[in-house]
Amino acid sequence: MPKKTAKTAAPYASLTLLNRNHKAYPEHPDQAPLETFENRFAKRDYWITFDCEEFTSLCPVTSQPDFGTIRIRYVADKLCVESKSLKLHLFAYRNVNTFHEEAVNRILDAFVAACKPRYAEVEGVFRPRGGIAITALASYGRKPA
């Protein structure tokens, strides 16, 4: 493994969670800010995809748990989102009473605020409750060709 130098560590100095024994889990997504790092390929359009297959939130009416998969696809501009901060942000929804559609849109808003991508979409595929499964898809920006 290459030795870490000041030059190689500098672009990532702002990341506070990665490669740390982090044990404090936020109670709410507002307490879990998304961290970013410089996109070294900002002149190129390319897709980045995150899949969170263990997303949970609470029904706003019954407070029963809801389970689903969140997929985030985006084309970065100047910044990329660091995955551990995203994991903590998404896991913080486990205590939040929210409708599926609201959760998907709130996740997109936080994502866009953090990294200002050229394009982003957040899709939530939620398991059935009461016999109906729900899929919600929210997008931001102009989809690349």
Name the residue type at position 105.
N
Active site residues: 59, 66
Q: Could you tell me the domains of the chain? A: 26-141 (3.30.1130.10)
User: What local confidence, expressed as pLDDT, does residue 5 receive?
Assistant: 57
**CB proximity list for 24: less than 8 A, separation 6 or greater:** none
User: What local confidence, expressed as pLDDT, does residue 73 receive?
Assistant: 98
DSSP state, 137? E
User: What local confidence, expressed as pLDDT, does residue 4 receive?
Assistant: 55
Interval 79-116: pLDDT, tens: 999 999 999 999 999 999 999 999 999 999 999 999 99
- Is the Cβ–Cβ distance between 110 and 122 less than 8 Å? no
**Rounded CA separation 98/84 (Å):** 23
User: What local confidence, expressed as pLDDT, does residue 106 receive?
Assistant: 98
Which segments of the chain have a pLDDT < 50? Answer: none
